[in-house]
Amino acid sequence: MSRVPASSIRPLLIRSLLAAALISGCSPVTDPIGDPGRPDLAKAPAGPTVTSALPSYAHQGDAAVAVRILGSGFDQGSVASWEREGAADLKVSVLSTRFVSSTELVATIDVASDAAISLYDVAVTTSTRKKGIGMERFTVTVAQPIGTLGGNTLARAVNDQGATVGYSMLGSSQHAFFAAPGAAMADLGPGQAYDLDITGSTVVGWIGGEAVVWRASGSSWPSSRLPDNGAGSRATAIATTTSGLLIGGSVNVPAGRNKSQSKAALWREDEGSSWTLQVFALPEGFSTAGIEDVNWQGQAVGTAGGPYKQVYVWEADGTPVPLASPAGDLLPHAFGINPAGTIVVGQSSGGAVYWKRDAEGNWLPPRVLESCGRAIEVNDAGMIVGQGCQNATLWVLAEDGTVTRRLPGLGGSSDAPAVEGINNAESPLAAGKAKQQGSPIDEGVIWNLSSLTAQ
């Protein structure tokens, strides 16, 4: 008698069961040893996700900060934690976690006075012990927002009293602003504000291609044009010298038929509050020049351009002194000079650099701070701010080398803060912009650099 092969028994059995089910009106049985990817197998529930934290920042010593954690998969009993390098950081302690919905929790946190100024991961663990982590969604920072007039904002300068100026978008136009410490921004009208004096009563910048000064008059800020022979100008810096206010910038002068040239210029205020304009001759071989910064000693720094560029310091007597650049660098640029007149900062060979004056008064070749970016301003303590290879940066010059600190913004890793100015106060501040996590708008900010360098 022939035997049915064992391999044929199982298909025959399944067909018999299916036929019996159809005859009896029952649903056919499912193959118990079918494809492991078949849809009747239930999938394990996914763990939680963390997409954002609002607010996305706090400061050292902040207490009872309520932070909304947004994401998915949260449940009653979910607990939040702040982590760095894969472990909970006890310097940011979670006092409570309140369940709002499957997509929102509210965590109340205390930030220790010695918490690391850094990016933090925000983690959520559900009641079923499933965990989700929002990488770098929160920052313990030294940045303080100073607000906006409505749109993207940049604080360009901060004086020793902590007052700031810059511009903020209002609709589709740039408006200059002044912000006293702890006060709302004052709208100075259309234009850009670039710098302010030590008293915070005079602001310089330009409106429609014309250099202007704004002067505080009660709660208003009337503007007046600086003399420029009617060809256009810009004002970029102001300093209080022993003889009065000094403004640096550039003016346009006629240069042949329907043409003009931009030349380095200084405005000096006399006793009658009127301005005297001094236009510097272009260095030989250059077709443009402009001043970017001035100090209380009357020194100015800027760049001359043409087929190539050259950095200059204009001494108080008007003498232009060229600063050396590395061989092959045809596009150096100078942006700032410290009050003492011993350090100039800028850009060379695509990186942030500084020039230093030796004891004999000679300017040394530039020294590299970072291989990319630019150094924008410097104070007498040797603190330099600018854009490094990773956004806003503080460099501190020291005898044993340069210390580099990144300036944290107002949000997580997607924030890209920028810094433009630094003051010369005992507790120094820097000014620039940053944005909160998830916000499309840059806010004006100031950084407390003492807290940052103390770490």
Q: Does 170 fall in a domain?
A: yes
Domain at 211, CATH number = 2.130.10.150
Q: Does 24 fall in a domain?
A: no
Q: Are residues 192 and 87 in the same domain?
A: no
A 10 A CB-CB count for 65 gives 16
Q: Are residues 255 and 333 in the same domain?
A: yes
Q: Where is 117: in which H helix or E strand?
A: none
Q: Does 62 fall in a domain?
A: yes
Return averaged pLDDT per consecutive 10 residues of the chain, 455 residues in all.
43 42 42 45 74 95 98 98 96 98 98 95 97 95 95 97 97 96 95 97 96 95 92 95 95 82 94 88 93 97 95 96 90 97 96 96 96 97 96 93 93 85 97 90 95 74
Q: Does 318 fall in a domain?
A: yes
| Last residue of one domain, picked from the residues 86, 120, 140 | 140
Q: Does 21 fall in a domain?
A: no
Instruction: Output the pLDDT for position 4.
Output: 42
Q: Are residues 176 and 286 in the same domain?
A: yes
Q: Are residues 129 and 155 in the same domain?
A: no
Q: Are residues 96 and 163 in the same domain?
A: no
Q: pLDDT tens, 7-37?
A: 444 444 344 433 444 344 444 444 443 444 4
Instruction: Output the pLDDT for position 407.
Output: 94
Instruction: Output the pLDDT for position 97.
Output: 98
Q: Does 18 fall in a domain?
A: no
Buried b (16+ CB within 10 A) or exposed e, 44-53: eeebbebebb
Q: Are residues 402 and 427 in the same domain?
A: yes
Contacts with 22 (C-beta within 8 Å, 6 or more apart), sequence order: 28
Instruction: Output the pLDDT for position 455.
Output: 65
Q: Are residues 233 and 120 in the same domain?
A: no
Instruction: Output the pLDDT for position 5.
Output: 46
Instruction: Output the pLDDT for position 213.
Output: 97
Residue 33 forms beta bridges with which residues?
none
Q: Are residues 114 and 212 in the same domain?
A: no
Q: Are residues 86 and 132 in the same domain?
A: yes
Contacts with 363 (C-beta within 8 Å, 6 or more apart), sequence order: 313, 321, 323, 324, 344, 355, 356, 357
Instruction: Output the pLDDT for position 256.
Output: 73
Judged by DSSP in three states, 191 sits in coil
Q: Does 448 fall in a domain?
A: yes
Q: How far apart are CA 427 and CA 358, in angstroms?
A: 26
The DSSP output letter for 365 is P
Q: Does 43 fall in a domain?
A: no
| Last residue of one domain, picked from the residues 93, 120, 140 | 140
Q: How many domains does the chain contain in total?
A: 2
Q: Are residues 135 and 279 in the same domain?
A: no
Q: Are residues 205 and 98 in the same domain?
A: no
| Last residue of one domain, picked from the residues 98, 118, 140 | 140
Q: Are residues 172 and 116 in the same domain?
A: no
Tell me the residue range of the domain where 53 lies. 49-140
Domain at 113, CATH number = 2.60.40.10
Instruction: Output the pLDDT for position 8.
Output: 43
Q: How far apart are CA 420 and CA 166, in angstroms?
A: 10
Q: pLDDT tens, 387-441?
A: 999 899 999 999 888 999 999 999 877 778 999 999 999 999 999 999 988 888 9
